Structures are given as structure tokens and as C-alpha cells.
Amino acid sequence: MAEVHAIGQLVSGSGFHEKALFCRWGIHTGGAWKVLAGTKEGQTQVDDPETGDIAFFSHPIDIHFATRGLQGWPKLWVQVYHQDSFARNELVGYGFTHLPSSPGLHNLQILTWRPAGGYTDTISHHFLGGSHQLKAPELIFSATERHRLTTVATGKIFAQLHIVLRNFEKFGIEC
């Protein structure tokens, strides 16, 4: 079987209005993909920068896949949260990107968004906190239903991945 090995890290996040950020992340694949080693999801620590708006995570990603085809190519998704002074976690944004299909070092930007509410929801969010969340988190990376959502851009997550491909030519798979 052809193999894909992704080694890297979630580096940082910037452009968010909130501080004290952390990410939940995962890698979604199609049915023809099998994890040989590593973990498909995780969570970073909370970073609360005293100066600037960049939250540094430096959270490792190391996963090794085997596949019989290109359908369902892996997607890296993130959910960004803000932790307030009472240790309550509030959703700040969702985002995803496809893992690169070429070998080598890749610097990735994951643009994030959150569902937008109406006028009263915006006022409530401003004064009381809280935010809208997706009932079905698979909408983060599924284009079939996501186009119906009204969203607000929130910030960017930066990732750095080394991609290693093996046996693609041997099994007749072209990237």
C-alpha cells in the first residue's frame, strides 16, 4: 500500500480578538486510509501572551497513513478556543486545510471562522460571552452543507508539516 507520513507541528495562532487560546485538532480521512502509527487528534496547551496577539502552541503532529487510493485525502481540522479567567472554554473558530500532496516541508495557514448569529446574538455574545457552535462538527471539513452557514472570519492558525510519500508509483497512484 502507498504511505503518507506527516511530521510537524501546530506552530501558533494570530489575528484573534481573544487571548488565552488553545486548539483541538484532528485529521479526517476517507475510508481507504488506515493509520499505521501516531494519533489522529489532540489538544494544545493554553497560551496567554502578555504582549502581542500571537499565541504559540508548538504542538507536535506525527502520523503515518497507508492508503489504496487518493480518495479521502487527509484534512487537518482545528477548533480554536479561548479560556477565560474562570477556566471556561469558549469557541473562537473552526478551520481546516488539506495535507499537502507533495513531499517536503510545508508552511500552512488555516483560516478560521465561527458561525454568525443575528443582531441580538451579537449583543449577547459581546456582553455575556459564549458563542454559536456547530451541532455536527463534521461540517468543518464537509463542503456539502457548510455553504449554508453564515460565518464570521476570526483568525489564522499556522502549521508546519514535513510530508513523506512512499510507494505511490509502485501501486500506480499518481499525486
Q: Is residue 27 part of a domain?
A: yes
Find the domain containing 73 and state its range.
Answer: 2-112+156-166
Q: How far apart are CA 11 and CA 60, in angstroms?
A: 9
H or E stretch at 124: helix 119-128
Residue-wise DSSP of 126-145? HHH------SSGGGGT-HHH
Considering only CA atoms, which of 15, 9, 11, 12 is closest in space to residue 113? 15
Instruction: Provide the pLDDT confidence category of residue 143 given band limits of 50, 70 and 90.
Output: low
| pLDDT of amino acid 86 | 83
Number of domains composing the chain: 1
Instruction: Provide the pLDDT confidence category of residue 173 given band limits of 50, 70 and 90.
Output: low
Does pLDDT of 144 surpass 70?
Answer: no
Q: Which residues face 159 on adjacent strands?
A: 10, 108
Neighbours of 11 (CB within 10 A): 16
Domain at 98, CATH number = 2.60.40.150
3-state secondary structure of 104: strand
| pTM, 2 dp | 0.85
Q: How far apart are CA 82 and CA 31, in angstroms?
A: 33
H or E stretch at 146: helix 143-146
Q: Which residues face 12 on adjacent strands?
A: 56, 158
- Residues 30-86 have pLDDT tens digits of 888 999 999 999 999 999 988 888 999 999 999 999 998 888 899 999 999 999 888
Q: How far apart are CA 80 and CA 91, in angstroms?
A: 6
| pLDDT of amino acid 51 | 82
Instruction: Provide the pLDDT confidence category of residue 13 given band limits of 50, 70 and 90.
Output: very high
Instruction: Give the mean pLDDT of the chain.
Output: 86
Q: How far apart are CA 17 and CA 126, in angstroms?
A: 12
- Residues 103-136 have pLDDT tens digits of 999 999 999 988 877 777 667 666 666 666 666 6
